[in-house]
Chains A and B, each alone.
Chain A
Amino acid sequence: MTATLDRPAVDTADLLPRLLTGDSELAAHRARFGPLPLAPFTGTAGRRRLVEGIVHAGLRGRGGAGFPTGRKLATVAAGRKTPVVVANGCESEPASSKDRVLLRYAPHLVLDGAALAAHAVGADRVFLCVERGTGHGERLERHLDERRDDPVRWHVVPVPRRYVASEESALVHFLNDGEARPLASPPRPYERGVEDRPTLIDNVETLAHLALIAYHGPDWFRAVGTGSDPGSALVTVAGAVANPGVFEVAPGTSLGEMLDAAGGPTEPLGAALVGGYFGTWVPLPQAVHLPLSHDPTGPAGTTLGAGAIVALPAGSCGLAETSRVLGYLAAESANQCGPCHFGLPAVAEDMAAVIHGRADPGTRNRLRTRLGVIAGRGACKHPDGAIRLVASALDAFAADLDMHLAGYTCTGLRQHPVLPLPDPEDRDREWR
Protein backbone atom coordinates (compact mmCIF):
# COMPACT_ATOMS: atom_id res chain seq x y z
CA MET A 1 0.00 0.00 0.00
CA THR A 2 1.32 3.43 -0.92
CA ALA A 3 1.14 6.36 1.41
CA THR A 4 0.10 9.72 0.05
CA LEU A 5 1.72 12.86 1.33
CA ASP A 6 -0.84 13.98 3.83
CA ARG A 7 -3.00 10.99 4.71
CA PRO A 8 -2.31 7.89 6.76
CA ALA A 9 -1.37 5.00 4.48
CA VAL A 10 -3.80 2.59 6.11
CA ASP A 11 -6.44 2.43 8.78
CA THR A 12 -4.02 2.39 11.69
CA ALA A 13 -6.39 1.18 14.38
CA ASP A 14 -4.84 -2.31 14.39
CA LEU A 15 -1.25 -1.08 14.01
CA LEU A 16 -0.98 1.10 17.12
CA PRO A 17 0.40 1.36 19.69
CA ARG A 18 3.96 0.67 18.66
CA LEU A 19 5.79 2.51 21.41
CA LEU A 20 3.39 2.59 24.33
CA THR A 21 2.84 -1.13 24.74
CA GLY A 22 3.34 -0.96 28.49
CA ASP A 23 6.36 -3.29 28.64
CA SER A 24 8.27 -1.23 31.16
CA GLU A 25 10.23 -4.17 32.62
CA LEU A 26 13.06 -5.85 30.74
CA ALA A 27 11.62 -9.40 30.79
CA ALA A 28 8.33 -8.30 29.20
CA HIS A 29 10.19 -6.10 26.73
CA ARG A 30 12.49 -8.95 25.62
CA ALA A 31 9.52 -11.33 25.42
CA ARG A 32 7.86 -8.96 22.96
CA PHE A 33 10.88 -7.86 20.91
CA GLY A 34 13.56 -10.51 21.40
CA PRO A 35 17.27 -9.81 21.99
CA LEU A 36 18.90 -6.52 20.98
CA PRO A 37 19.18 -6.95 17.18
CA LEU A 38 22.92 -6.56 16.70
CA ALA A 39 23.53 -9.83 14.84
CA PRO A 40 21.99 -8.62 11.53
CA PHE A 41 24.19 -5.50 11.65
CA THR A 42 27.69 -6.77 12.50
CA GLY A 43 30.84 -5.36 10.94
CA THR A 44 31.32 -2.23 8.87
CA ALA A 45 28.88 -3.43 6.22
CA GLY A 46 26.28 -4.20 8.90
CA ARG A 47 26.59 -0.75 10.43
CA ARG A 48 26.19 0.84 7.04
CA ARG A 49 23.13 -1.33 6.42
CA LEU A 50 21.61 -0.14 9.69
CA VAL A 51 22.16 3.53 8.78
CA GLU A 52 20.72 2.91 5.30
CA GLY A 53 17.71 1.22 6.90
CA ILE A 54 17.02 4.31 9.03
CA VAL A 55 17.41 6.52 5.94
CA HIS A 56 15.04 4.30 3.96
CA ALA A 57 12.53 4.27 6.83
CA GLY A 58 12.31 8.07 6.60
CA LEU A 59 12.37 8.59 10.36
CA ARG A 60 12.25 12.27 11.38
CA GLY A 61 13.54 13.60 14.71
CA ARG A 62 10.88 13.98 17.41
CA GLY A 63 12.57 16.69 19.47
CA GLY A 64 11.01 19.52 17.48
CA ALA A 65 13.02 20.16 14.31
CA GLY A 66 11.86 17.10 12.34
CA PHE A 67 15.28 16.58 10.73
CA PRO A 68 15.80 13.23 8.93
CA THR A 69 17.50 10.98 11.51
CA GLY A 70 19.25 8.79 8.93
CA ARG A 71 21.11 11.75 7.45
CA LYS A 72 22.29 12.80 10.90
CA LEU A 73 23.49 9.24 11.60
CA ALA A 74 25.40 9.13 8.30
CA THR A 75 27.10 12.48 9.01
CA VAL A 76 28.18 11.50 12.53
CA ALA A 77 29.35 8.06 11.36
CA ALA A 78 31.57 9.69 8.72
CA GLY A 79 33.55 11.72 11.29
CA ARG A 80 37.22 10.95 11.97
CA LYS A 81 37.09 10.56 15.74
CA THR A 82 35.06 7.97 17.62
CA PRO A 83 31.62 9.59 18.05
CA VAL A 84 29.45 9.70 21.15
CA VAL A 85 25.68 9.46 21.44
CA VAL A 86 23.45 11.67 23.58
CA ALA A 87 19.87 10.60 24.25
CA ASN A 88 17.87 13.74 25.01
CA GLY A 89 15.06 13.03 27.47
CA CYS A 90 15.02 16.41 29.21
CA GLU A 91 11.65 17.50 27.77
CA SER A 92 11.75 21.04 29.12
CA GLU A 93 8.71 22.00 27.00
CA PRO A 94 5.98 22.73 29.58
CA ALA A 95 3.15 21.61 27.27
CA SER A 96 4.75 18.24 26.56
CA SER A 97 4.77 15.04 28.59
CA LYS A 98 5.43 12.46 25.89
CA ASP A 99 9.10 11.86 26.65
CA ARG A 100 8.56 11.25 30.34
CA VAL A 101 5.63 8.93 29.53
CA LEU A 102 7.85 7.06 27.07
CA LEU A 103 10.71 6.81 29.59
CA ARG A 104 8.30 5.41 32.12
CA TYR A 105 6.35 2.97 29.94
CA ALA A 106 8.94 1.91 27.35
CA PRO A 107 12.38 2.67 28.81
CA HIS A 108 13.98 -0.38 27.22
CA LEU A 109 12.87 0.64 23.75
CA VAL A 110 14.68 3.96 24.29
CA LEU A 111 17.76 2.18 25.65
CA ASP A 112 17.71 -0.31 22.75
CA GLY A 113 17.48 2.59 20.31
CA ALA A 114 20.36 4.44 21.94
CA ALA A 115 22.54 1.30 21.93
CA LEU A 116 21.67 0.64 18.26
CA ALA A 117 22.33 4.27 17.29
CA ALA A 118 25.74 4.02 19.00
CA HIS A 119 26.43 0.82 17.10
CA ALA A 120 25.37 2.43 13.82
CA VAL A 121 27.73 5.41 14.15
CA GLY A 122 30.56 3.48 15.84
CA ALA A 123 30.19 5.07 19.29
CA ASP A 124 30.98 3.21 22.49
CA ARG A 125 29.44 5.65 24.97
CA VAL A 126 25.89 6.93 25.44
CA PHE A 127 24.92 9.86 27.65
CA LEU A 128 21.32 9.65 28.85
CA CYS A 129 20.26 13.21 29.63
CA VAL A 130 17.18 13.74 31.81
CA GLU A 131 16.03 16.63 33.97
CA ARG A 132 17.33 16.39 37.51
CA GLY A 133 14.91 16.00 40.37
CA THR A 134 12.35 14.13 38.28
CA GLY A 135 13.21 10.55 39.27
CA HIS A 136 13.93 9.56 35.67
CA GLY A 137 17.68 9.32 36.24
CA GLU A 138 17.22 6.96 39.19
CA ARG A 139 14.75 4.81 37.24
CA LEU A 140 17.11 4.60 34.27
CA GLU A 141 19.98 3.55 36.58
CA ARG A 142 17.77 0.75 37.88
CA HIS A 143 16.92 -0.41 34.35
CA LEU A 144 20.59 -0.24 33.35
CA ASP A 145 21.50 -2.55 36.25
CA GLU A 146 19.68 -5.26 34.30
CA ARG A 147 21.49 -4.48 31.04
CA ARG A 148 25.13 -5.28 31.86
CA ASP A 149 25.63 -6.96 28.47
CA ASP A 150 24.87 -3.89 26.38
CA PRO A 151 27.72 -3.10 23.96
CA VAL A 152 28.02 0.50 25.18
CA ARG A 153 29.03 2.34 28.34
CA TRP A 154 26.03 4.18 29.76
CA HIS A 155 26.19 7.49 31.61
CA VAL A 156 23.01 8.84 33.17
CA VAL A 157 23.31 12.64 33.31
CA PRO A 158 20.88 14.76 35.37
CA VAL A 159 20.58 18.17 33.67
CA PRO A 160 19.47 21.50 35.24
CA ARG A 161 15.76 22.14 34.85
CA ARG A 162 15.92 25.13 32.48
CA TYR A 163 14.05 25.56 29.21
CA VAL A 164 17.10 26.02 26.99
CA ALA A 165 19.31 23.55 28.90
CA SER A 166 18.05 20.74 26.65
CA GLU A 167 19.05 22.55 23.46
CA GLU A 168 21.71 20.50 21.63
CA SER A 169 24.69 22.78 22.09
CA ALA A 170 23.67 23.46 25.72
CA LEU A 171 23.83 19.72 26.41
CA VAL A 172 27.27 19.57 24.79
CA HIS A 173 28.37 22.56 26.90
CA PHE A 174 27.03 20.88 30.05
CA LEU A 175 28.71 17.54 29.30
CA ASN A 176 32.04 19.24 28.52
CA ASP A 177 32.16 22.08 31.05
CA GLY A 178 29.20 21.65 33.39
CA GLU A 179 27.31 24.72 32.19
CA ALA A 180 23.99 24.05 30.45
CA ARG A 181 23.85 27.18 28.29
CA PRO A 182 23.90 27.13 24.47
CA LEU A 183 27.13 27.59 22.50
CA ALA A 184 27.67 29.63 19.36
CA SER A 185 28.02 27.68 16.13
CA PRO A 186 30.02 26.61 14.21
CA PRO A 187 30.94 23.96 15.08
CA ARG A 188 27.63 22.07 15.23
CA PRO A 189 27.52 19.14 17.68
CA TYR A 190 27.42 16.58 14.83
CA GLU A 191 30.79 17.98 13.69
CA ARG A 192 32.46 18.62 17.03
CA GLY A 193 30.54 18.14 20.27
CA VAL A 194 31.24 16.18 23.43
CA GLU A 195 35.05 16.03 23.92
CA ASP A 196 35.34 17.54 20.43
CA ARG A 197 33.97 14.30 19.01
CA PRO A 198 31.19 14.00 16.42
CA THR A 199 28.10 13.84 18.63
CA LEU A 200 24.75 12.31 17.74
CA ILE A 201 22.04 13.99 19.83
CA ASP A 202 18.61 12.46 19.42
CA ASN A 203 15.36 12.84 21.27
CA VAL A 204 14.37 9.71 23.23
CA GLU A 205 11.25 9.14 21.10
CA THR A 206 13.40 9.25 17.97
CA LEU A 207 15.65 6.57 19.46
CA ALA A 208 12.68 4.37 20.37
CA HIS A 209 11.49 4.50 16.74
CA LEU A 210 15.04 3.73 15.60
CA ALA A 211 14.91 0.56 17.70
CA LEU A 212 11.57 -0.42 16.11
CA ILE A 213 13.10 -0.01 12.66
CA ALA A 214 16.03 -2.25 13.63
CA TYR A 215 13.62 -4.89 14.95
CA HIS A 216 11.00 -4.82 12.20
CA GLY A 217 12.60 -3.17 9.16
CA PRO A 218 11.96 0.07 7.27
CA ASP A 219 8.97 -1.23 5.29
CA TRP A 220 7.13 -2.22 8.45
CA PHE A 221 7.93 1.22 9.84
CA ARG A 222 6.49 3.00 6.82
CA ALA A 223 3.14 1.20 7.03
CA VAL A 224 1.97 3.93 9.42
CA GLY A 225 2.17 7.69 8.88
CA THR A 226 2.68 9.77 5.75
CA GLY A 227 5.21 9.53 2.94
CA SER A 228 7.21 12.45 4.32
CA ASP A 229 6.71 11.53 7.99
CA PRO A 230 6.40 7.76 8.41
CA GLY A 231 5.95 5.86 11.68
CA SER A 232 3.75 6.59 14.65
CA ALA A 233 3.99 9.73 16.78
CA LEU A 234 3.56 10.58 20.44
CA VAL A 235 1.50 13.71 21.00
CA THR A 236 0.59 15.48 24.22
CA VAL A 237 -2.91 16.95 24.07
CA ALA A 238 -3.76 19.50 26.77
CA GLY A 239 -6.22 22.32 27.40
CA ALA A 240 -9.99 22.10 27.06
CA VAL A 241 -10.30 18.39 26.22
CA ALA A 242 -12.04 15.70 28.27
CA ASN A 243 -9.05 13.40 28.66
CA PRO A 244 -5.78 15.32 28.36
CA GLY A 245 -2.66 13.20 28.08
CA VAL A 246 -0.18 11.49 25.79
CA PHE A 247 -1.44 9.57 22.77
CA GLU A 248 0.22 7.53 20.05
CA VAL A 249 -1.19 8.55 16.68
CA ALA A 250 -0.32 8.33 12.99
CA PRO A 251 1.19 11.44 11.40
CA GLY A 252 -1.28 12.73 8.83
CA THR A 253 -4.09 12.48 11.37
CA SER A 254 -6.09 15.71 11.49
CA LEU A 255 -6.03 18.16 14.37
CA GLY A 256 -9.69 17.38 15.07
CA GLU A 257 -9.00 13.64 15.28
CA MET A 258 -6.10 14.25 17.65
CA LEU A 259 -8.36 16.34 19.90
CA ASP A 260 -10.93 13.52 19.71
CA ALA A 261 -8.24 11.04 20.80
CA ALA A 262 -8.10 13.11 24.00
CA GLY A 263 -11.85 12.79 24.51
CA GLY A 264 -12.81 15.79 22.39
CA PRO A 265 -13.49 19.37 23.46
CA THR A 266 -15.17 20.07 26.79
CA GLU A 267 -16.50 23.41 25.51
CA PRO A 268 -16.50 25.34 22.23
CA LEU A 269 -12.91 25.93 21.10
CA GLY A 270 -11.56 29.12 19.55
CA ALA A 271 -8.07 28.00 18.60
CA ALA A 272 -5.36 25.42 19.17
CA LEU A 273 -1.66 25.80 19.69
CA VAL A 274 0.08 23.20 17.52
CA GLY A 275 3.71 22.28 18.12
CA GLY A 276 4.24 23.54 21.66
CA TYR A 277 5.65 26.90 22.73
CA PHE A 278 7.72 27.29 19.56
CA GLY A 279 4.64 26.37 17.56
CA THR A 280 1.74 27.98 15.75
CA TRP A 281 -1.76 29.10 16.75
CA VAL A 282 -4.49 27.91 14.39
CA PRO A 283 -8.13 29.05 14.52
CA LEU A 284 -10.90 26.56 15.26
CA PRO A 285 -13.11 25.22 13.85
CA GLN A 286 -11.48 26.28 10.56
CA ALA A 287 -8.30 24.25 11.14
CA VAL A 288 -10.01 21.10 12.38
CA HIS A 289 -9.20 19.12 9.21
CA LEU A 290 -5.51 20.12 9.04
CA PRO A 291 -3.36 16.98 8.84
CA LEU A 292 -0.46 17.22 11.30
CA SER A 293 3.03 15.76 10.90
CA HIS A 294 6.70 16.33 11.80
CA ASP A 295 7.51 17.50 8.27
CA PRO A 296 8.79 21.05 8.85
CA THR A 297 8.12 21.99 5.23
CA GLY A 298 4.37 21.49 5.65
CA PRO A 299 1.94 24.44 5.66
CA ALA A 300 1.90 26.73 8.72
CA GLY A 301 0.08 25.16 11.64
CA THR A 302 0.56 21.58 10.45
CA THR A 303 3.95 20.93 12.06
CA LEU A 304 3.86 18.83 15.21
CA GLY A 305 7.29 19.96 16.43
CA ALA A 306 7.79 18.27 19.79
CA GLY A 307 4.23 16.93 19.57
CA ALA A 308 2.37 19.25 21.95
CA ILE A 309 -1.17 20.44 21.19
CA VAL A 310 -3.19 22.75 23.46
CA ALA A 311 -6.92 23.39 22.90
CA LEU A 312 -8.04 26.91 23.76
CA PRO A 313 -11.69 27.59 24.72
CA ALA A 314 -13.51 30.19 22.61
CA GLY A 315 -13.97 32.32 25.72
CA SER A 316 -10.24 32.54 26.50
CA CYS A 317 -7.93 35.27 25.22
CA GLY A 318 -5.23 33.86 22.96
CA LEU A 319 -3.21 37.06 23.25
CA ALA A 320 -3.23 36.90 27.05
CA GLU A 321 -2.23 33.24 26.93
CA THR A 322 0.62 34.05 24.54
CA SER A 323 1.72 37.00 26.64
CA ARG A 324 1.95 34.81 29.74
CA VAL A 325 4.01 32.17 27.94
CA LEU A 326 6.25 34.79 26.35
CA GLY A 327 6.99 36.21 29.79
CA TYR A 328 8.09 32.74 30.82
CA LEU A 329 10.20 32.22 27.68
CA ALA A 330 11.86 35.65 28.13
CA ALA A 331 12.74 34.74 31.72
CA GLU A 332 14.16 31.42 30.49
CA SER A 333 16.64 33.12 28.15
CA ALA A 334 20.23 32.18 28.91
CA ASN A 335 20.90 35.94 28.62
CA GLN A 336 23.94 35.39 26.47
CA CYS A 337 22.87 37.04 23.20
CA GLY A 338 21.62 40.63 23.02
CA PRO A 339 18.67 40.07 20.66
CA CYS A 340 17.28 37.42 23.05
CA HIS A 341 18.36 38.98 26.37
CA PHE A 342 16.90 42.41 25.50
CA GLY A 343 14.53 41.58 22.64
CA LEU A 344 12.29 39.02 24.33
CA PRO A 345 11.58 41.16 27.43
CA ALA A 346 10.88 44.15 25.14
CA VAL A 347 8.34 42.16 23.11
CA ALA A 348 6.91 40.72 26.34
CA GLU A 349 6.40 44.26 27.64
CA ASP A 350 4.64 45.24 24.38
CA MET A 351 2.35 42.22 24.68
CA ALA A 352 1.60 42.98 28.34
CA ALA A 353 0.73 46.56 27.33
CA VAL A 354 -1.69 45.21 24.71
CA ILE A 355 -3.34 42.83 27.17
CA HIS A 356 -3.70 45.30 30.02
CA GLY A 357 -4.89 48.31 28.05
CA ARG A 358 -1.59 50.19 28.35
CA ALA A 359 -0.83 50.22 24.62
CA ASP A 360 0.03 53.53 22.95
CA PRO A 361 -0.48 54.50 19.29
CA GLY A 362 2.99 53.17 18.43
CA THR A 363 2.63 49.76 20.06
CA ARG A 364 1.41 47.87 16.99
CA ASN A 365 4.22 49.07 14.74
CA ARG A 366 6.82 48.67 17.47
CA LEU A 367 5.73 45.05 17.96
CA ARG A 368 5.89 44.33 14.23
CA THR A 369 9.33 45.94 13.95
CA ARG A 370 10.73 44.08 16.94
CA LEU A 371 9.29 40.77 15.75
CA GLY A 372 11.08 41.32 12.44
CA VAL A 373 14.60 41.82 13.76
CA ILE A 374 15.08 39.24 16.52
CA ALA A 375 14.90 35.84 14.79
CA GLY A 376 18.10 34.23 13.52
CA ARG A 377 20.39 36.37 15.67
CA GLY A 378 20.92 34.21 18.73
CA ALA A 379 23.35 31.34 19.29
CA CYS A 380 20.37 28.99 19.57
CA LYS A 381 16.79 29.07 18.26
CA HIS A 382 15.20 30.14 21.56
CA PRO A 383 14.46 33.71 20.40
CA ASP A 384 13.26 32.44 16.99
CA GLY A 385 10.76 30.09 18.60
CA ALA A 386 9.44 32.67 21.06
CA ILE A 387 9.03 35.23 18.28
CA ARG A 388 7.26 32.73 16.04
CA LEU A 389 4.74 32.06 18.80
CA VAL A 390 3.96 35.79 19.16
CA ALA A 391 3.79 36.39 15.41
CA SER A 392 1.36 33.52 14.97
CA ALA A 393 -0.78 34.83 17.84
CA LEU A 394 -0.98 38.27 16.22
CA ASP A 395 -2.16 36.56 13.00
CA ALA A 396 -4.59 34.08 14.55
CA PHE A 397 -6.06 36.64 16.97
CA ALA A 398 -5.86 39.69 14.70
CA ALA A 399 -9.43 40.74 15.50
CA ASP A 400 -8.75 40.43 19.23
CA LEU A 401 -5.62 42.55 18.78
CA ASP A 402 -7.70 45.30 17.19
CA MET A 403 -10.19 45.17 20.07
CA HIS A 404 -7.43 45.30 22.68
CA LEU A 405 -5.71 48.22 20.96
CA ALA A 406 -9.03 50.05 20.63
CA GLY A 407 -9.41 49.87 24.39
CA TYR A 408 -12.29 47.38 24.70
CA THR A 409 -12.41 45.29 27.87
CA CYS A 410 -11.39 41.67 27.23
CA THR A 411 -13.62 39.17 29.03
CA GLY A 412 -11.05 36.48 28.24
CA LEU A 413 -8.74 37.94 30.86
CA ARG A 414 -11.03 36.62 33.57
CA GLN A 415 -10.69 33.02 32.38
CA HIS A 416 -8.37 30.52 34.01
CA PRO A 417 -5.00 30.22 32.25
CA VAL A 418 -4.97 27.32 29.78
CA LEU A 419 -1.37 27.02 28.55
CA PRO A 420 0.56 25.16 31.24
CA LEU A 421 3.62 26.71 32.88
CA PRO A 422 5.89 24.89 35.32
CA ASP A 423 5.82 25.58 39.02
CA PRO A 424 8.84 27.86 39.63
CA GLU A 425 9.56 25.74 42.71
CA ASP A 426 10.29 22.80 40.42
CA ARG A 427 12.72 24.71 38.23
CA ASP A 428 16.41 25.57 38.62
CA ARG A 429 17.81 29.08 38.60
CA GLU A 430 21.37 28.00 37.90
CA TRP A 431 22.95 26.50 34.81
CA ARG A 432 25.28 24.06 36.58
Chain B
Amino acid sequence: MSRRGTGPRLAVNPITCLAHGMCAELLPEYVKLDEWGYPILNGDPLPPDLVAHAKRAVADCPTLALRLDPTS
Protein backbone atom coordinates (compact mmCIF):
# COMPACT_ATOMS: atom_id res chain seq x y z
CA MET B 1 0.00 0.00 0.00
CA SER B 2 1.59 3.20 -1.13
CA ARG B 3 0.66 6.56 0.35
CA ARG B 4 1.97 8.26 -2.75
CA GLY B 5 0.20 8.76 -6.02
CA THR B 6 -1.60 11.47 -7.89
CA GLY B 7 -5.11 10.03 -8.00
CA PRO B 8 -8.06 11.74 -6.30
CA ARG B 9 -8.89 11.05 -2.65
CA LEU B 10 -12.21 10.11 -1.12
CA ALA B 11 -13.77 12.54 1.35
CA VAL B 12 -17.12 12.68 3.09
CA ASN B 13 -19.19 15.51 4.51
CA PRO B 14 -19.90 14.02 7.96
CA ILE B 15 -22.93 16.25 8.50
CA THR B 16 -24.80 15.26 5.35
CA CYS B 17 -23.78 11.57 5.58
CA LEU B 18 -26.70 9.53 6.95
CA ALA B 19 -25.07 6.09 6.92
CA HIS B 20 -26.82 4.58 3.91
CA GLY B 21 -23.65 2.56 3.36
CA MET B 22 -23.77 2.55 -0.46
CA CYS B 23 -20.13 3.65 -0.65
CA ALA B 24 -18.95 0.56 1.24
CA GLU B 25 -20.99 -1.63 -1.11
CA LEU B 26 -19.56 -0.01 -4.22
CA LEU B 27 -15.98 0.58 -3.09
CA PRO B 28 -15.15 -1.91 -0.33
CA GLU B 29 -11.43 -1.57 -1.14
CA TYR B 30 -11.42 1.99 0.21
CA VAL B 31 -14.51 2.24 2.44
CA LYS B 32 -15.28 0.33 5.64
CA LEU B 33 -18.27 0.98 7.87
CA ASP B 34 -18.06 1.55 11.63
CA GLU B 35 -20.45 -0.23 14.00
CA TRP B 36 -23.00 2.56 13.51
CA GLY B 37 -22.89 2.26 9.72
CA TYR B 38 -20.86 5.39 8.99
CA PRO B 39 -17.99 5.19 6.50
CA ILE B 40 -14.34 4.98 7.52
CA LEU B 41 -12.45 6.12 4.44
CA ASN B 42 -9.00 5.23 3.26
CA GLY B 43 -7.76 8.73 2.45
CA ASP B 44 -4.85 7.65 0.23
CA PRO B 45 -4.90 8.67 -3.44
CA LEU B 46 -6.98 6.17 -5.42
CA PRO B 47 -5.17 3.90 -7.86
CA PRO B 48 -6.22 4.41 -11.51
CA ASP B 49 -8.17 1.14 -11.71
CA LEU B 50 -10.49 2.21 -8.85
CA VAL B 51 -11.24 5.78 -9.95
CA ALA B 52 -14.24 4.78 -12.08
CA HIS B 53 -15.69 2.75 -9.17
CA ALA B 54 -15.12 5.70 -6.84
CA LYS B 55 -16.94 8.05 -9.22
CA ARG B 56 -19.83 5.61 -9.29
CA ALA B 57 -19.93 5.55 -5.46
CA VAL B 58 -19.88 9.35 -5.35
CA ALA B 59 -22.70 9.59 -7.89
CA ASP B 60 -24.81 7.01 -6.04
CA CYS B 61 -24.49 8.48 -2.52
CA PRO B 62 -28.13 9.16 -1.59
CA THR B 63 -27.26 12.32 0.36
CA LEU B 64 -24.41 13.47 -1.93
CA ALA B 65 -22.09 13.38 1.09
CA LEU B 66 -19.28 11.49 -0.64
CA ARG B 67 -16.89 13.35 -2.91
CA LEU B 68 -13.53 13.06 -4.64
CA ASP B 69 -10.90 15.69 -3.85
CA PRO B 70 -8.02 16.25 -6.25
CA THR B 71 -4.62 15.42 -4.80
CA SER B 72 -2.71 18.67 -4.63
Docked CA distance A65–B26 (Å): 37
Which residue of the partner chain, among A346, A370, A373, A379, contacts B14 with CB atoms under 8 Å?
A: A379
Give every chain A residue within 8 A of B35 (Cβ-Cβ): 346, 370
The interface stretch among A50-58, A96-104, A335-343, A394-402 is A335-343
Pick from B14, B34, B40: contact of A184, CB under 8 Å? B14
Interchain CA distance A293-B50 in the complex, whole Å: 45
Q: Are A339 and B16 in contact (CB under 8 A)?
A: no
Residues of B within 8 A of A (CB): 13-19, 34-38, 40
Interface: A153 (CB within 8 A): no
Contact A338 B38 (CB under 8 A): yes
From known contacts A373-B40, A377-B40, infer whether A339 and B15 are also in contact, taking CB-CB under 8 Å.
no
Q: Are B38 and A184 in contact (CB-based, < 8 A)?
A: no
Report if A378 contacts B (CB, 8 A): yes
Taking a contact as CB atoms under 8 Å apart, the answer to whether B14 and A343 are in contact is no
Which A residues touch B36, using CB under 8 A? 338-339, 342-343, 346
Query: A339 — which chain B residues lie within 8 A by C-beta?
Result: 14, 34, 36, 38
The chain A residue sitting closest to B69, CB to CB, is: A186
> Which residues from chain B contact A377 at a C-beta distance below 8 Å?
14, 38, 40
Give the dominant DSSP class at A's interface. Answer: loop
Q: Which residues of B lie under 8 Å from residue A379 when comparing CB positions?
A: 13-15
What are 6 inter-chain pairs, A to B, with CB distance below 8 A? Answer: A184-B16, A337-B15, A337-B17, A338-B38, A370-B35, A379-B13
Please, how many angstroms separate the alpha-carbon atoms of A108 and B3 in the complex?
50
A183–B40 CA distance with the chains assembled, in angstroms? 19
Besides the known contacts A339-B36, A343-B36, A379-B14, 11 further A-B residue pairs in the complex with CB atoms under 8 A apart = A184-B15, A184-B16, A336-B15, A337-B17, A338-B19, A342-B38, A343-B34, A346-B36, A373-B34, A373-B40, A379-B15
A378: chain B residues at CB < 8 Å are: 14
A344 smallest CB distance to B (angstroms):
11
- Report Cα–Cα, A343/B36, bound state, in Å: 8
Min C-beta distance of B15 to chain A, whole Å: 5
**A346 CB contacts on chain B under 8 angstroms:** 35-36
Give the distance in Å from the alpha carbon of A373 to the alpha carbon of B32 in the complex: 11
Closest residue to A339 on the B side, CB-wise?
Answer: B38
By a CB distance below 8 angstroms, the chain B residues around A338 are 14, 17-19, 34, 36-38
> How far, in angstroms, from A345 to B15 measured CA to CA in the complex?
18
User: What residues on B are CB-neighbors of A336 within 8 Å?
Assistant: 14-15
Closest-by-CB residue of B relative to A373 is: B34
Complex alpha-carbon distance, A346 and B34, angstroms: 12
Give Cα A336 to B13, complex, Å.
10
Task: Give the top 3 A-B pairs by smallest Cβ distance, nearest first.
Answer: A338-B38, A337-B14, A342-B36
Contact digits for A329-362, partner B, Cβ 8 Å, 1 yes 0 no: 0000000111100110010000000000000000
Chain A residues within an 8 Å CB radius of B38: 338-339, 342, 377
Residues from chain A with Cβ under 8 Å of B17 in the complex: 337-338
Complex-state Cα separation, A320 to B16, whole angstroms? 34
Measured between alpha carbons, how far is A346 from B18 in the docked complex, in Å?
18
Residues in A whose Cβ lies below 8 Å from that of B15? 183-184, 336-337, 379
Q: Which residues of A contact B34 (CB under 8 A)?
A: 338-339, 343, 373
